[in-house]
Amino acid sequence: MNPPAAHGLAEPDVRIPAEPLPRLFWRFLRFGLLAWGGPIAQIAMIRQELVEEEKWVSPAHFNRALALYQILPGPEAHELCVYFGMLARGRVGGLLAGLGFMLPGLLLMLLCSWLYVRMGLDSPWVRAAFTTVQAAVAALIVRAVHRIGSHAFTHPALLALALLAAVAQLLGVPFALTLVWGGLTAMLLHAGSRAAALGLTAACATAAGLLLALLPSESAPLAAAAPTGTPPSTLSLLGSGLRTGLLTFGGAYTAIPFLQHDAVARGGWMTDAQFLDGLALGGVLPSPLIIFGTFVGYLGGGLPGALVMTAGIFAPAFGMTLLAHHPLERLLHHPRARVFLEGLTAAVVGLIAGTALPLLRAAVDDVLTGLVFAAALAALYLSKARLAPMAVLALAALGGLGVHALGWV
């Protein structure tokens, strides 16, 4: 048995067998190869093998770690792999476990990105499939907003925060201001200081108005058929990835407004349609959905851009687990910290909703895509199956191909 105390993680319910580093890497690489079906399926797979079958930790220990990573930014399934690798073989083990889990999805997304850029959508068959898949992705985003919000809105005030954040996003208010406002306002409301919360809201609204008046508009034309901006630098792609990785609270869908802002609204190196294509590819690969950031980086800067964007997005997930798991666990037991994060999460849900509207308008623009969107949304609400999102995307692609084969469009 590896003594957990050797890694500074001694806990009475940790019972991890000694495992060579190559075998540890292979274990989590296998997890990555089998990581189909989104975070719920990925977490269930990790729990089944490491908790229920091999009993590395107790179920209560696993639930505590999962609760922590659901609050912190980053893909929780990936962070759990890093955490278990760290329990087994220290920080080197955590690094290898995290790399093993993300490697299959990264390589597949790089291949898909290369094919997408080289082949494009010139083929009418490819165009037909991607057109209907984009509508299905829009349905996935709408469903995600509702699902995340149903867990985040534990008080009507948090719903109000989200609605105001959505309006701010539609108006083009810088999201950093919206996030800080959401967290601080939640703290003031929790303390019973409604007047102070209203004063803060008024001050932030005034500041946002001044910023919008002074700064140039960053809105991208919804109907743009081709990118309108210049290619970003490698350094700016790394910064975009880091910022996104630090702000992905509540799941990978929360990365959408930040990457869409950098790549479409401000940078202009992608269109909304291309952004939706990247989300579609990320939704069907064996990887955390956030791997669609690799696609965004590839379209911005080729292979180097894809790699630095991916490194930036995943760096916080590695760093928070390898360097600060236990201090963060203690911090998040502090009531004020939890309230601030609740307000921040509500604001993020509002940002997703505000971003979803222009994406929806770009994806659903005729009768066919409207029908696909409605059918996909209904299926996502009616089905509880883990693979439902993948099935919806696959059926949407087949529907687009079938309609094209019949010559209906």
- pLDDT digit string, tens, across residues 37-76: 677 778 888 988 999 899 898 888 888 788 778 777 888 8
Check residue 293 and give its pLDDT.
Answer: 94
Residue 376 lies in a domain: no
Calculate Rg over the CA atoms of the chain. Answer: 21
Q: Can you tell me which residue has the tokens 């005729």? A: 366
Q: In terms of pLDDT, which residue wins out, 19 or 312?
A: 312
Do 69 and 178 lie in a common domain? Answer: no
Indicate whether 58 and 190 sit together in one domain.
no
**Together in a domain, 327 and 351:** yes
**Nearest residue to 299 (alpha-carbon basis) of 26, 110, 81, 56:** 110
What are the structure tokens assigned to 47, written together? 């729990």
Among 99-103, 186-190, 318-322, 390-394, the least confident range: 390-394
Do 63 and 162 share a structural domain? no
Q: Tell whether 164 and 282 lie within a shared domain.
A: yes
At 261-284, the pLDDT tens digits run: 899 988 889 988 899 889 888 887
pLDDT at residue 332, as a whole number:
63
Let me know if residue 394 belongs to a domain: no
- pLDDT higher at 151 or 308: 308
Mean pLDDT of 204-217: 77
Q: How confident is the model at residue 320 (pLDDT cuts 50, 70, 90)?
A: confident
Residues 272 and 349 placed together within one structural domain of the fold:
yes
- Residues 285 and 329 occupy one common structural domain: yes
Amino acid letter, 359: L
pLDDT at 230: 81
Is 80 a domain residue?
yes
Instruction: Measure the CA–CA gap between 15 and 279, rounded to whole angstroms.
Output: 39
Q: What is the pLDDT of residue 72?
A: 79
Tell me the mean pLDDT in the region 258-263: 90
Q: How far apart are CA 88 and CA 86, in angstroms?
A: 5
Higher pLDDT residue, 73 or 81? 81
pLDDT at 302: 94
Q: Give the chain's mean pLDDT.
A: 84
Of all residues in the chain, the percent with pLDDT exceeding 70 is: 90
Range of the domain at 25: 4-103
Q: Is 325 part of any domain?
A: yes
User: What is the dihedral sign for C-alpha 53, 56, 61, 63?
Assistant: negative
Are both 248 and 350 inside the same structural domain?
A: yes
365 has a pLDDT exceeding 90: no
Confidence of residue 11 (pLDDT cuts 50, 70, 90): low
Q: Which two tokens stand for residue 271?
A: 């269109």
Name the band, by pLDDT with cuts 50, 70 and 90, for residue 303: very high
Instruction: State what percent of residues in the chain have pLDDT above 90.
Output: 32
Would you say residue 255 lies in a domain? Answer: yes
Tell me what pLDDT residue 318 has. Answer: 93
Quick check: is 272 in a domain?
Answer: yes
Please report the pLDDT score of residue 223 as a whole number: 43
pLDDT number for residue 409: 60
Closest CA to 161 of 197, 128, 127, 192: 197
162 pLDDT above the threshold of 80:
yes
Residues 66 and 119 in one domain: no
Token duo for residue 409:
């469009």
Most confident of 165-179, 303-317, 326-340: 303-317
What pLDDT is stored for residue 263 in this prediction?
A: 92
Residue 218 within any structural domain of the chain: yes
**35 and 98 in contact (C-beta within 8 Å)?**
no
Match 């959408």 to its residue by tokens: 256
Residue 182, token pair as written in the block: 């959401």
Specify the pLDDT at position 216: 55
The predicted structure's pLDDT at residue 226: 60
On whether both 205 and 242 belong to a single domain, the answer is yes
pLDDT score of 184 = 93
| Residues 34 and 120 both lie in one domain | no
pLDDT, residue 74, reads: 83
Provide the pLDDT confidence category of residue 3 given band limits of 50, 70 and 90: very low
Domain count, the chain: 2
Residue 244 has pLDDT above 70, yes or no: yes
Cβ(81)–Cβ(28) under 8 Å? yes
Number of alpha carbons in the 13 Å side-chain half-sphere of residue 104? 21
Segment 160-174 shows an average pLDDT of 89
Taking residues 210-222, report their average pLDDT.
60
The one-character DSSP state at 6 is G
User: Residues 74, 117: one domain?
Assistant: no
Average pLDDT over residues 311-334: 84
* Residue 196: burial class (beta carbons within 10 Å; 0-12, 13-18, 19+): middle
How confident is the model at residue 50, as a pLDDT?
92
User: Mean pLDDT across the stretch 210-231?
Assistant: 61
Q: Is residue 389 domain-resident? A: no
132 touches 396 (CB < 8 A) = yes
